[in-house]
């Protein structure tokens, strides 16, 4: 076969190495599917590696690779938002298509990067940036293109899900499971991105844009991590028929009152029914549940991190671009107007729907209140909730675990967060309450 497609891989960490291995393992399949030879011509690496094929040029100057005539597609897998941005802009300027797994970069600078790519008639493909190997970008941009998406909920950080699963199933300590996730190549360079929900927030910003046709707005994502989750709450939730998962939600809220209409973008631990499919997505698996009209709910599940899963997504993008590059007509080759827009909607059709503030968001709640064991305590708490118009769905009072103190667990129906804030403030002022109220959001996923 002639007309080889020439790839440059910038970064030889977990993902870059995974891409090289995938190409070696599946070379014949790639060729049979694309009709082209796919070869790696250059790799960007800080130091020379002796485990790389000698036909591949190794170079520490990534800006030079991004401009090289010997490269058709630049695969950026170095991560970070500084050098990665420079090399991607350089590649675009030099007419190269780009494949990236860099969710942080796209969530923070994607509006600028995509606009620059459109100006230069090239594509920046990013399947690997969200949910690892699950082809969720392709599904949402293409397969669901005829639907109006109402909401989506996803387990979109493999490390976090791995930690929560191991803690729940095996009672392993948090730090121990996190080190294992790092060794397995799941965790971010800075693992606080995983456990504080920042990585999930990056991915949620991308998913929300392609779901609703809004510009990327990472800075408006409400974000809570998993570090505050205790085994005690995991167990109470299970007793009440729920499981705590770390989820990202993007929800379209239509309202008669314009000031309450908008989009909720939030990442937080959430109680979901134990029998929900999402509740049973464990380990490093990710899953995204999309509710759209007229299709209804669909669930996409698979490995959300790791070399093989991420390389699969990177190479799926490469295969799409091979077809773009393969077009006979040069004008057609790089005319982005013929292809799915970066954010799924035509750029001038992106809407300015507001992102709602945290206190405007509507969710159910799990509350854990510690009170002195005295007559009327429960009545005081429930009165405050009922005065605030908050509907209690379930209540569980455990026998005193310390002398004279009882944990009271309350599940509520959905309520506007500002109302819940006021109610919690009042509950914490009761003389019978001994500690801060613990609250975790709850969603029936219906």
What's the rounded Cα separation, in Å, for the pair 390 and 385? 5
Residue 62: φ, ψ to 5°: -70, -30
Report if residue 158 touches ligand HSE, rule: CB under 6 A: yes
Query: For residues 122 and 96, is the Cβ–Cβ distance under 8 A?
Result: yes
User: Which residues in 132-151 contact ligand HSE (CB under 6 A)?
Assistant: 132
Tokens of 285: 């698996």
Q: Check 203, 245, 328, 398 and give the catalytic one.
A: 203
Q: Binders of ligand HSE: how many residues, by CB under 6 A?
A: 11
CB of 200 to ligand HSE, least distance (A): 8
**Sole window of 44-52, 172-180, 182-190, 392-400 interacting with ligand HSE (rule: CB under 6 A):** 182-190
Q: Which of 305, 313, 371, 408 contacts ligand HSE by CB under 6 A?
A: 305
Q: How far is the CB of 187 from ligand HSE (least distance, A)?
A: 5
- Beta carbons within 8 Å of 216's beta carbon, 6+ residues apart: 106, 107, 108, 110, 111, 205, 206, 209, 343
Q: Is 240 in the site for ligand HSE (CB under 6 A)?
A: no
Q: CA 209 to CA 206: how far, in whole Å?
A: 5
Binding mask 94-133 for ligand HSE (x = CB under 6 A): --------------------------------------x-
Instruction: Dig out the tokens for 271 from the structure.
Output: 């109680």
Is 203 noted as a catalytic residue in this protein? yes
Which residue's CB is nearer to ligand HSE, number 158 or number 269? 158
With 0-12 CB in 10 A as exposed, 13-18 as middle and 19+ as buried, what is 48?
A: exposed
Cα(88)–Cα(76) distance, rounded to whole angstroms? 7
In the numeric block, which tokens belong to residue 250? 């993007």
Q: How are beta strands 73-76 and 5-10 bridged, if at all? A: parallel
What are the tokens at 99?
Answer: 């494949």
Binding mask of the shown chain, residues 13 to 32, with x at each position contacting ligand HSE by CB under 6 A: --------------------
186 is a contact residue toward ligand HSE (CB under 6 A): yes
Interface residue with ligand HSE, options 17, 45, 157, 432 (CB under 6 A): 157
Shortest approach of ligand HSE to residue 115 CB, angstroms?
Answer: 24
List contacts with ligand HSE (CB under 6 A).
132, 157-159, 186-188, 194, 199, 304-305
Q: Known catalytic residues?
A: 203
């Amino acid at each position: 076969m002639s007309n080889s497609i020439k790839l440059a891989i910038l970064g030889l960490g977990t993902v870059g190495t995974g891409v090289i291995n995938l190409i070696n393992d599946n070379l014949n399949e790639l060729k049979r599917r694309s009709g082209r030879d796919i070869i790696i011509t250059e790799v960007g690496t800080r130091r020379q590696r002796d485990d790389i094929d000698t036909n591949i040029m190794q170079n520490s100057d990534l800006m030079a690779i991004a401009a090289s005539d010997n490269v058709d597609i630049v695969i950026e897998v170095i991560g970070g938002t500084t050098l990665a941005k420079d090399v991607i802009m350089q590649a675009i300027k030099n007419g190269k298509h780009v494949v990236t797994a860099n969710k942080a970069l796209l969530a923070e600078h994607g509006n600028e990067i995509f606009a620059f790519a459109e100006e230069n008639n090239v594509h920046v493909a990013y399947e690997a940036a969200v949910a690892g190997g699950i082809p969720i970008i392709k599904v949402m941009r293409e397969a669901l293109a005829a639907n109006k998406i109402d909401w989506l909920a996803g387990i979109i950080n493999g490390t976090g899900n791995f930690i929560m699963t191991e803690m729940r199933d095996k009672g392993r300590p948090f730090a121990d499971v996190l080190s294992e996730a790092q060794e397995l190549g799941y965790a971010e360079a800075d693992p606080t991105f995983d456990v504080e929900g920042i990585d999930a927030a990056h991915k949620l910003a991308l998913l929300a844009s392609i779901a609703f046709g809004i510009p990327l707005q990472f800075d408006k994502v409400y974000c809570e991590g998993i570090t505050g989750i205790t085994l005690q709450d995991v167990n109470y939730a299970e007793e009440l028929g729920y499981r705590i998962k770390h989820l990202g939600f993007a929800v379209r809220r239509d309202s008669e009152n314009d000031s309450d209409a908008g989009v909720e973008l939030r990442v937080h631990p959430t109680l979901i029914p134990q029998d929900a499919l999402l509740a049973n997505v464990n380990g490093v698996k990710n899953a995204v549940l999309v509710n759209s009209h007229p299709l209804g709910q669909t669930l996409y599940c698979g490995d959300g991190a790791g070399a093989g899963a991420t390389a699969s997504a990177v190479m799926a993008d490469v295969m799409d671009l091979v077809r773009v590059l393969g077009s006979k007509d040069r004008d057609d080759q790089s005319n982005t107007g013929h292809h799915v827009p970066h954010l799924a909607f035509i750029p001038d059709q992106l809407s300015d729907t507001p992102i709602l503030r945290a206190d405007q968001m509507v969710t159910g709640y799990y509350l854990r209140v510690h009170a002195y064991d005295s007559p009327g305590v429960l009545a005081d708490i429930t009165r405050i909730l009922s005065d605030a118009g908050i509907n209690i769905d379930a209540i569980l009072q455990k026998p005193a675990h310390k002398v004279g103190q009882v944990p009271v667990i309350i599940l509520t129906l959905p309520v506007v967060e500002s109302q819940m804030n006021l109610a919690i403030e009042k509950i914490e002022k009761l003389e019978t309450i001994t500690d801060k109220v613990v609250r975790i959001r709850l969603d029936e996923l219906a």
